[in-house]
Amino acid sequence: MQKPDLDVLFTAPHPDDLEIGMGGTIAKLSALGYRVGMIHMTSGEPTPRGTPETRKRETAEASEILGATVCETLTLPNRELMDVPANRYALASVVRKYRPRILVGLAGRTPAGSPDHYQAQLLTEAVRFYSQLTKWDDRFENTEPWRVDHLVYRPVPMAAEIHHWPTRFVVDITETMDKKLAAVSCYRSQFDGPRLERVLHYIRSTCGADGALAGFAFGEQYALPRLLGVTDPVQLLGDWQIPPPFDPTHNPNVPSNP
């Protein structure tokens, strides 16, 4: 089997969605030496704020902070993003080009926000299947078929429904939280003044809550559409910091500094 060009490919509908939702994990994987790709399905335009040129500069700046190997913005239609064959072909062509082992996308309907978010989930799910299809290369810019090993969801914290996933896990982003916030702050055309403070507060709150579930200061929660198979559960289960570790040789009745 061909060696993958990327270890992980992250997808989302608009510039800033990846940074807000998954920026801590992107930065962490990049720092660990993995080859990470970021794909924005649309340019986010038209929008009441900024311009296409501004968004392009902001996206490049944010991806550099996160350390992504690849960052691309596709030309699928913002506000009209739909899970239709043509869009499946376009996104699958990118997956077949970069050949990642792991494909990560948003999950959840956002009635108070853009319907593009849920359509992006459907597209990502379909593309995981489409990217491996044979005898259809003409639909995928004549790229070769590629089988993605794992589909991973990033559940939207403010989704309309509560989903019960077969498997959930939390990535510790305590060390990359500052990079995540800095990447989001690059989108000055979208988040300025009080608006930026509100989105950063939202990120700190949700990542703090996700992290607390696993004993981290900050985390990003992910889910799998299947059970996670384990061959060595001891290696899977690391140190648990809740309650905090203590020194069994220390006598609490004796002051540390008599």
**Residues whose CB is less than 8 angstroms from the CB of residue 121 and which lie 6 or more positions away in sequence, other chains included:** 105, 106, 107, 108, 153
Calculate mean pLDDT across residues 164-177: 96
Q: Is the pLDDT of residue 116 over 50?
A: yes
pTM above 0.85, yes or no: yes
Lowest mean pLDDT among 93-97, 173-177, 219-223, 239-243: 239-243
Rounded mean pLDDT, 179-190: 97
pLDDT at residue 127 tops 70: yes
Can you list the domains of the chain with their CATH numbers? Answer: 6-230 (3.40.50.10320)
With cut-offs at 50, 70 and 90, classify the pLDDT of residue 236.
Answer: confident
- Is the per-residue pLDDT at 16 higher than 70? yes
Confidence grade of residue 1 (pLDDT, cut at 50, 70, 90): very low
How deeply is 165 buried, as exposed, middle or buried, from its count of CB atoms within 10 A (0-12, 13-18, 19+)? middle
Percent with pLDDT over 70 in the chain:
91
* Average of per-residue pLDDT across 23-30: 98
β-pairing, 150-155 vs 100-107, is parallel
- Find the distance separating the first CA and the last CA of the chain, reported in whole Å: 66
DSSP string, 71-129: EEE--PPTT-----HHHHHHHHHHHHHH-EEEEEEEES--TTS-THHHHHHHHHHHHHH
The residue ranking higher by pLDDT, 2 or 160, is 160
Of 12-26, 50-64, 97-111, 238-252, where does mean pLDDT reach its minimum?
A: 238-252
Instruction: Supply the mean pLDDT for the chain.
Output: 92
pLDDT of residue 48: 86
